[in-house]
């Protein structure tokens, strides 16, 4: 007896799922407590149709987190600067430019309710940050008064605070985010200023 082939989702089903994810991103960016009804209306679907794709609101949010984490991990893997300080600055800037478009949704991903699943999804990014910290400590360009894993976590928590507390619309937000990460990494404000002056592309606003 042969096993029937697995059928791909119908095109309209795929389109509906993408519409739901897009509507959820938009709704959560306006209101982090947006209801299922609000998200369904934004997708042009009924509540029942939405539940045909996602078991509940938390399942939907977790998929948004997974999708965002995948983009963040891809960014981390593209960073190839040889100077760990520049690499950390560039990583921060690129992640900020990605997260700033959906800042509230990013905040939800980093809140206490979802921090465990977010940490798992962001494992490749976390490993990359630890590697950069170790390289910088070995070169003497980053602080070495704390273990690399601890410093990487401090960098992560600093970035988390910036994302959740800073106004993404501020023209200084990107520069402040990069400076905050460089500061916790061990650079003085003068050293951070000199680094950004030598690499102005790090804080160039992206559309």
Q: Which residues of 145-175 are buried (b: 16+ CB within 10 A; e: fewer)?
A: eeebeebbbbbbebbbebbeebebeeeebbb
pLDDT of residue 110: 57
Both tokens of 107, joined, read 């905040």
pLDDT of residue 165: 77
Which pTM does this prediction carry? 0.77
pLDDT of residue 8: 47
Intra-chain end-to-end CA distance of the chain, in Å: 55
Q: What does each of the 207 residues of the chain score in pLDDT, given as a tens digit?
A: 455 554 445 558 889 999 999 898 888 877 778 899 999 999 999 999 999 999 999 899 888 888 878 888 999 999 999 999 999 999 999 988 877 655 555 556 556 566 666 777 888 999 999 999 999 999 999 999 999 999 999 998 898 788 777 777 788 888 999 999 999 999 999 999 999 999 999 988 654
pLDDT of residue 172: 86
- Three-class DSSP category at 134: helix
């Amino acid at each position: 007896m042969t096993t029937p082939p697995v059928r791909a989702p119908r095109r309209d089903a795929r389109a509906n799922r993408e519409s739901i994810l897009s509507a959820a991103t938009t709704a959560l960016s306006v209101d982090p407590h947006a209801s299922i009804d609000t998200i369904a209306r934004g997708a042009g679907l009924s509540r029942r149709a939405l539940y045909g794709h996602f078991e509940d609101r938390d399942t939907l949010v977790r998929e948004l987190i997974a999708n965002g984490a995948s983009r963040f991990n891809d960014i981390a893997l593209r960073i190839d600067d040889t100077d760990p300080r520049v690499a950390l600055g560039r990583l921060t800037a690129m992640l900020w430019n990605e997260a700033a478009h959906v800042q509230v949704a990013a905040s939800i991903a980093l809140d206490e309710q979802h921090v465990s699943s977010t940490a798992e999804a962001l494992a490749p990014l976390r490993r990359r940050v630890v590697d950069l910290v170790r390289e910088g400590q070995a070169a003497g360009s980053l602080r070495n008064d704390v273990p690399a894993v601890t410093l990487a976590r401090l960098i992560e928590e600093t970035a988390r605070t910036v994302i959740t507390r800073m106004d993404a619309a501020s023209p200084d937000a990107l520069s402040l985010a990069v400076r905050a990460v460089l500061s916790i990494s061990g650079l003085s404000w003068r050293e951070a200023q000199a680094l950004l002056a030598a690499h102005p592309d790090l804080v160039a606003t992206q559309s």
